[in-house]
Amino acid sequence: MSTSRISENGTCECSDSSDPKLCSQSCNADECYYTNATSPLGIIPIPGSGALKNQDSLAYIPQCPRDQQDISDQVTCVSDCCNFFSIYNTIQFWNGDLIIKDSSLTSLANIFSELLIVNGNLYIIGTNYTSITGFNKLRTVTGSIVFANNEKLTAVPTFSSLLTVSGKVNKDAVDADNACKQGAIVIVNNKVLRKIIGFESLRQVKWGIIVADNSCLTHICGFLHLYRTDYIIISNNCRLNKITGFCYTALIGKNLSILDNNVNSNNDLVINAFLTLESVSSLVVIGNKYLRKLELNALKQVCGCFAIRSNPQLESLCSFIKRAGTIKIEKNASLIIICFPELEEVSCGLFINKNDGLEKLDTFDKLKYIGHVLMISENKQLHQLKGFCKIKFIGSCCVHDNNHEVELPRACEPINCPCIFNNENVIPLWTDTFAVIGYTVIDKLEDVIEIYDEACDACAYELPSLFFQLTCLRDVRCEEWTVRTEFINTDYSIIIYGNPRLRCIDGFKCLRHLESSLFIIGNASLTVLEAFPHLASVLDIWIRNNPTLKCIKGFNHLLSIRNFIIKESNCY
């Protein structure tokens, strides 16, 4: 007499007995392979409206026969379990959320092999599976695809036929914001996941893609034909070495964020992706330990913030971008090359601060307009500053001294300004963000996104209090000024501050108008200032605490100025 069961890889291994009673007698209580009395194989059907016939049958799958009070008429052979598997592999349309959760099996092979459409979300959360394969014909998911909190999962399905992941339409929503729920691909907190490959046919993801907190992930290779989405977030994958693919992604509607990856790896992080990316609202690359080169040669526009910060091994940053909202290149200790040869317009500010390896800054030859401010501060090795020869106008902005309430023993002594806004180490609690309770899923993805939306300001550079003290016009001795109570805010157009090896400032040959003040302060080796020959209008000019400055050329066409301050003080 043969026995029946579902194998460890999820396939059916059964041969039915011709006599149900004999089959019943051949099975004992330990041979029932229902993995869960109400969710066989860890699969929970959540039916939606207008369910098809085979979906209706899944919605009312009976409990395991051994859990019935009267089993005299039941065929208790575990071939019944195999019937579940065969039903799943005939479904073509799933109307409602599809949840795969905890299971006693370790692998699930070739599941939903005929499934074409999921009109809802696909959740694979908190399972014990080491691998899941299948979904080979799945073309459309109208909600999200989520792989979360799977401690043993080493591989995810490739979804080779998937074309779209789009927001699920809710016609009963009372407001427009809830009419279309977000559609996303989320792969988070899978502790032993090694690679993400596949998604080759995927064209569009309505909301975005998040790959985060996968501690063993080394490769992201796929999404070759994805042409549009709103978010791509790759964060806190501490062994990530390679990002390839996204070959046709020309537009990212909101944010591209690559944050805090590769921190526990001994290999370089290579980004060979986004080769056709032309436009993105915000681009943030922060805290990637062994990223050495970043090239974005197709990029034309970043509407919001372009932030490259705290990548300690980054040596080269090149892009052919033409327009940006704000550019922040800060705290990249090994950065040598900054190349933006096509940049024409920065609508807000350009910040190049605390890049210790940067030796010269001679790019930005086509830049014509900066809407608010230019700051070049505390670059330890910077010895040459020139260029900016086509820029005609720079606006203004207010900078705040975040240390104004700190008591100082002497006002002339600088203090180290700690970063007061640092969310680089904030890790979302994914077990709370995604959790299965009964037959429903708690999904708090929208709450998590706020962390990533604010990432462009994570641990941003701040001017030290000494700068603000040096902009003081009060005729008092610094020893008498022991508590910081004034000069909290400074309005400026250009700040060139604290570059200790800077010897020469050249360029700015077409600059005519500064909306606020020009500060050239605290550059210990500056000897020649030969710039700003056509500057006509400026509020104040501060040239102070540059002890070796010998030659000032320029400023020949000044027509409107309030204060021109060239001042050295024994106090400072």
Q: What is the mean pLDDT of the chain?
A: 80
Last residue of a domain, one of 69, 89, 109: 89
Specify if 46 maps to a domain: yes
**Looking at the predicted structure, is the pLDDT value of residue 256 above 50?**
yes
**Looking at the predicted structure, is the pLDDT value of residue 568 above 50?**
yes
From the number of C-beta atoms within 10 Å of its C-beta (0-12, 13-18, 19+), residue 472 rates as middle
Contact indicator for 182, 158 with CB cutoff of 8 Å: no
Specify if 32 maps to a domain: yes
User: What pLDDT score does 333 carry?
Assistant: 96
Nearby residues of 231 by Cβ (< 8 Å), 6 or more positions away: 184, 207, 208, 209, 210, 252, 253, 254, 255, 256, 257, 449, 452
Is 324 or 64 the better-scoring residue by pLDDT? 324
Largest CA distance in the chain: 107
**Looking at the predicted structure, is the pLDDT value of residue 324 above 50?**
yes
User: What pLDDT score does 416 carry?
Assistant: 32
> What's the N-to-C CA distance of the chain in angstroms?
97
Last residue of a domain, one of 89, 122, 148: 89
User: What pLDDT score does 447 carry?
Assistant: 79
DSSP for residue 298? T
Is 453 or 320 the better-scoring residue by pLDDT? 320
Is 89 or 55 the better-scoring residue by pLDDT? 89
From the number of C-beta atoms within 10 Å of its C-beta (0-12, 13-18, 19+), residue 266 rates as exposed
Q: Give the Cα separation of 439 and 419 in Å (integer).
A: 44
> Which range is most confident: 81-90, 108-117, 436-445, 473-482?
108-117
Specify if 253 maps to a domain: no
pLDDT digits (tens, 9 = 90+) for 372-428: 999 999 999 999 998 899 999 999 998 877 665 443 333 333 323 233 223 444 556
pLDDT digits (tens, 9 = 90+) for 506-535: 999 999 999 999 999 999 999 999 999 999
% the chain with pLDDT above 90: 55
pLDDT digits (tens, 9 = 90+) for 51-85: 344 444 444 444 444 444 443 333 333 344 555 56
User: What pLDDT score does 471 carry?
Assistant: 80
How many independent structural domains does the chain possess?
Answer: 2
Give mean pLDDT, residues 438-449. Answer: 80
% the chain with pLDDT above 70: 73
Specify if 205 maps to a domain: no
Specify if 410 maps to a domain: yes
User: What pLDDT score does 387 carry?
Assistant: 86
Q: Give the Cα separation of 336 and 449 in Å (integer).
A: 33
User: What pLDDT score does 426 carry?
Assistant: 52
**Looking at the predicted structure, is the pLDDT value of residue 50 above 70?**
no
Q: Band of the pLDDT at 41, cuts 50, 70, 90?
A: low
Specify if 273 maps to a domain: no
Nearby residues of 169 by Cβ (< 8 Å), 6 or more positions away: 142, 179, 180
* pTM of the predicted model as reported, rounded to 2 decimal places: 0.82
pLDDT digits (tens, 9 = 90+) for 349-374: 999 999 999 999 988 999 999 999 99
Look up the domain containing 79 and give its range.
Answer: 1-89
User: What pLDDT score does 393 carry?
Assistant: 95
Last residue of a domain, one of 43, 58, 89: 89
Nearby residues of 180 by Cβ (< 8 Å), 6 or more positions away: 167, 168, 169, 170, 206
Specify if 395 maps to a domain: no
Specify if 470 maps to a domain: yes
pLDDT digits (tens, 9 = 90+) for 111-132: 889 999 999 899 999 998 998 9
User: What pLDDT score does 181 carry?
Assistant: 55
**Looking at the predicted structure, is the pLDDT value of residue 282 above 80?**
yes
